[in-house]
Chain A
Amino acid sequence: MRVEVHDIHKHYGPVRANDGITLTIEPGRIHGILGENGAGKTTLMKILAGYTRKTSGYLCMDQVPVDYRTPTEASQLGIGMLYQDPLDFPFLSVLENFMIGQAVGLANQKKYYRKKFDSLAADFDFALRPNVQVNRLTIGERQQLEILRLLSLGIQVLILDEPTTGITNVQKDYLFSALKKMTSEGKSIILVSHKLKDVEAVCNQLTVLRRGKVTGEMKAPFDTDILLEMMFGQTPIPFNRCLQESGRTILELDNVSAPGGRSGLSDCNIRIRQGEVVGLAGLEGSGQDVFLRIAAGLLRPAGGSVMLKDKRMNAKDYHCFKHSGVFFQPSSRLEEGLISGCSVTEHFALQSDHKKFVTKWSDATSDAKKKMTEFRIIGRPDSLAESLSGGNQQRLLLSFLPRNPLLLLLENPTRGLDMESSSWVWQHLHKYCSDNTTIVFSSSDLDEIIMAADRVLVFFNGKMIKDTRTCETSSYELGLAIAGKR
């Protein structure tokens, strides 16, 4: 089926997740959608799958304009989507997962669907046992199950959102051969990914998105350089920082592995020295999130050792780390960082240094007022955290940083800030470094890392694959590493 997407817009308040996207997906093709985090890939796919409603624009299928509002209507039209996090029922069996949404009525149809399932699975060489509970399957197997289910619904257009994250190479081969088999039957595949290697290996055609817009299209064979330019833009950035002399090692991870996040972290050897700013690059969930949380004591490593200033910290919790001068700041502001329902003043009272039994509200209020002017937070001391705008929430979080920390661990410290305020944030943070504080931060914005960090660590699929000084690298080289092509 030929799918045409015309001038799709999706606005969340002032944010334009999709800003006029137009593209055509030919039948019998694997069409790749590339783009970095926040480029609008997932939003576009959710619109196509009927899970999200578009703000404006229209869709055509085989030249016929279509309008649908729910995933069911989409699947009736033949569009099915494989979500990034498997949207299935972990505590039901494989066969039951296969049946939900297909089987209707009161008659026991397990035998019928069992047969259907077995023959489909045999077609694609998937070794799935129908009676196993889904939570015992790997992510790759859950994908296979979901593909079989969508196929048995008779879909003609299959959307896959980051299907190669968290699966083994063998499973990837199975997946790709299944996709090729489906295109040979005339079905269209839309493959959303950030992994250049995978996309190049299997796609016939690519569309690149950046900040909600289409920045380019290309047919196989692909030119990596041009694709990278389309993905990350081509702004030359002056190097701001590049610390030459190295202080003593304060944080040392030896062979650390841990589950968690999408890909976990495996065999990680990282040394962080005093006074440097280290940027963690990589697509979200490639292991940098797990690394930060292990370094903060919020996650326990499954293996290896974590040393903080020559002290073994493996079984210690965050409060212990905090005592030694480690300070962590999460990126999800209202989920983990701030307490909704509490005012700005209450936040300051909570984090104040002297934890006396009686709270001095006058002190906390004046503290809040002072910090709010210093950090340019718009609001009142008695404003509730959730009533502040995103940028103000972010600045509020930053204002909680202690005066003389040893190590700051920051998850996306400037997310949601405009250029001007994020450069202000970095001016503020760099002041810490002159007092020998170390900053380790993750960011999905490569430009920010190059601008603010002395050293970059690139994570890919749960591994740290590149460790380099910012002055010795380029955004092109980093882009390659992020996309898994060294």
Chain B
Amino acid sequence: MKPKLLLRYSKELILTLAVVFLFTTIILLVTGAPVLAVYYHIFKGSLGSWAKFGHVIKTWIPLTLCACGLLYTFRIGLWNIGVEGQVMMGAIFATAVLRFGVESHFSELYLFLSILAGIAGGAIWALIAGYLKTAGGVNEIFAGLGLNFVAQAIILWLIFGPWKRPGIASMSGTELFPKALWLPSTFLLRISPIGIFSAFAAIILTALMLRYTRIGLCLKAVGNNPKAAYLFGVKPQPYMLLAMIFAGGFSGVAGCLQVTDVYHRLLPAISSNYGYLALLVVMLGNFNVWISPAVAFFFACLNIGSVQLPMMLQLDSSLSGVIQGASVLAALGMQAWRMRIRSNEVGAFYE
């Protein structure tokens, strides 16, 4: 049974990749771009040097954090589209704490506090969406979406208002924090060990939580059948809120790292769309805690690699998004195809 299953999965994976490759190539041909050169530059731009690899990892960290958070909400059947806003809120809270630390000598303390603040910010934003769902009957997709835009507006207001740069307020964000408030990073890859650590910690924690704790079991039970879960003694609402807290907390850490490790200030695009992208990661990762980080790495490579396109080939870097989206669509199509085959098999069984 097992090898057969493996064979089928690899067959489907190869087919999905082939479809995506074909689609991308057609797009490239249509636009008249040099096909081989594009693939070459994406590859070289992401894995071609240690410095590039460092950038990939810097993208991979927040993506993985968000993806881990989303695993909790998907497990309980919630579409936490508000993860984008939760990243922003994490960044806002972290920035707020760091602003107090600018003059201080205990910068490590403020860095530590900023992570806690990030978790709190993300979790609060997620809880609002969660409460709107459980107590107010507002679909979590629309609540989350609305809160994303509200968070974006708060950032803009802060940048142009209370936290504006001395002199001129601009879209380039708040003033840079002093080096003492940057997360320490390794000399070689310019990656922060704390960032790496938190991503791996998130993966392992999530895997353990979902597999080995009662919380994970209850999330799955409620997600698959809330009525039956209730008869088993599990109240759905508190677990929904709990899942939202986890999702918000992890994305809050991602938002905090965007401030302390990547940009060192608050700017409008602080979330870099990683929240939305993480939704795609988890969907393509088949909602699996081990596959999703791998997908996140693939997506990070695409994101970083495609930065080369405008410089080298005068193409837009958004090709990465096209490939990412096409992959998920192809995977969804594959899933539909698999379901169809299975239902035919069942039908044959009965006839």
Contacts and interface: CB of A to CB of B under 8 A. Distances in A.
Interface of A: 13, 318-319, 322, 328-330, 335-342, 346-347, 349-351, 355-359, 361
Given A319-B233, A328-B231, A361-B212, A339 B350 contact: no
Contact of A358 (B212, B218, B224, B235): B212
Interface in B218-262: 218, 220-221, 224-225, 227-235
Nearest to A328: B231
Q: Which 5 A-B pairs have the closest CB atoms?
A: A341-B224, A339-B225, A336-B227, A339-B224, A339-B228
Interface residues of B toward A: which range? 20 to 34
A330 B232 CA distance: 12
Give the one of A318, A328, A342 with max B CB within 10 A: A342
A330 B228 CA distance: 9
A450 B227 CA distance: 31
Interface string B320-351: 00000000000000000000000000000010
B217 interface: yes
Contacts of A349: 214, 217
Contacts of A340: 224-225
B234 A350 contact: yes
Given A330-B231, A357-B213, A359-B212, 10 more contacts: A319-B235, A322-B233, A335-B225, A336-B225, A337-B231, A339-B221, A341-B220, A347-B232, A350-B217, A357-B214
B233 to A, nearest CB: 6
B229 A339 contact: yes
A346 B235 CA distance: 17
Contact of B225 (A319, A338, A356): A338
Contacts of B350: 13
A359 B214 CA distance: 6
A132 to B, nearest CB: 26
Contacts of A335: 225, 227-228
12 contacts: A336-B231, A339-B220, A339-B228, A339-B229, A342-B224, A346-B220, A346-B221, A349-B214, A350-B217, A350-B229, A351-B232, A356-B214
Contacts of A318: 230-231
Nearest to B215: A357
Nearest to A329: B231
A355 B231 contact: no
Given A338-B228, A340-B225, A341-B224, A351 B233 contact: yes
Contacts of A338: 225, 228
A339 B229 CA distance: 7
Main SS of the interface on chain B? Answer: helix
Contacts of B229: 339, 350
Give the one of B228, B229, B350 with max A CB within 10 A: B228
A346 B228 contact: no
Given A339-B221, A350-B221, A359 B231 contact: no
B227 A346 contact: no
B333 to A, nearest CB: 22
Interface string B15-31: 00000000000000000
A351 B217 CA distance: 11
Contacts of B227: 335-336
A359 B213 contact: yes
Nearest to B346: A13
Nearest to A355: B214
A354 B177 CA distance: 50
A244 B143 CA distance: 60
Contacts of B218: 350
A340 B223 CA distance: 10
A340 B220 CA distance: 10
Contacts of B224: 339-342
A338 B221 CA distance: 9
Contacts of B230: 318
A415 to B, nearest CB: 16
Interface string B252-284: 000000000000000000000000000000000
Contacts of B212: 358-359, 361
Interface string B123-158: 000000000000000000000000000000000000
Nearest to A327: B231
Contacts of B233: 319, 322, 351
A340 B230 CA distance: 14
Give the one of A318, A338, A350, A361 with max B CB within 10 A: A350
Contacts of B234: 350
Contacts of A322: 233
Nearest to B227: A336
A342 B221 contact: yes
A226 B106 CA distance: 94
A340 B218 CA distance: 13
A352 to B, nearest CB: 9
Contacts of A319: 233, 235
Contacts of A339: 220-221, 224-225, 228-229, 232
A346 B231 contact: no
A390 B188 CA distance: 61
Contacts of A356: 214
A334 to B, nearest CB: 8
B225 to A, nearest CB: 4
A125 B229 CA distance: 49
B28 to A, nearest CB: 40
Nearest to A13: B350
B213 A358 contact: yes
A339 B350 CA distance: 24
Given A319-B233, A351-B233, A359-B212, A336 B217 contact: no
Nearest to B216: A359
Contacts of A347: 232
B335 to A, nearest CB: 15
Give the one of B214, B231, B350 with max A CB within 10 A: B231
B217 A346 contact: yes
A289 B229 CA distance: 20
A335 B215 CA distance: 22
A328 B227 CA distance: 13
Interface string B187-215: 00000000000000000000000001111
